[in-house]
């Protein structure tokens, strides 16, 4: 699976800070044992979090 570009992520939010915070919070949950929200699994929690954000599985206020 390819890493999503900022251009793709900008469709979710135009704020890089907001995307970073969403990914960090989700990655922290993954590290702490949360279930994956997508069928494909990545080795790194941040990459997994970004893919989940791109697929719409993680929302801004989650």
CA neighbor of 44 nearest in space, from 23, 20, 58? 23
**CA distance linking residue 14 with residue 47, whole number of Å:** 19
Enter the pTM of the model.
0.82
Q: Domain residue spans in the chain?
A: 6-54
Low-confidence ranges of the chain (pLDDT < 70): 1, 62
pLDDT in tens, 11-22: 888 889 999 999
Sequence-ordered alpha helix ranges (H) in 1-62: 6-9, 16-31, 45-54
pLDDT at residue 1, rounded to an integer = 59
* Burial annotation 16-39 (CB, 10 A radius, 16+ → b, else e): eeebeebbeebbebbeeeeeebee
**CA distance linking residue 59 with residue 53, whole number of Å:** 7
pLDDT at residue 22, rounded to an integer = 93
């Amino acid at each position: 699976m390819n890493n999503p570009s900022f251009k793709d992520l900008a469709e979710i939010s135009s704020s890089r800070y907001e995307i970073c915070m969403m990914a960090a919070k989700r990655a922290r949950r993954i590290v702490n044992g949360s279930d994956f929200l997508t069928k494909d699994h990545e080795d790194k929690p941040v990459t997994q979090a970004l893919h989940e954000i791109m697929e719409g599985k993680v929302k801004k206020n989650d």
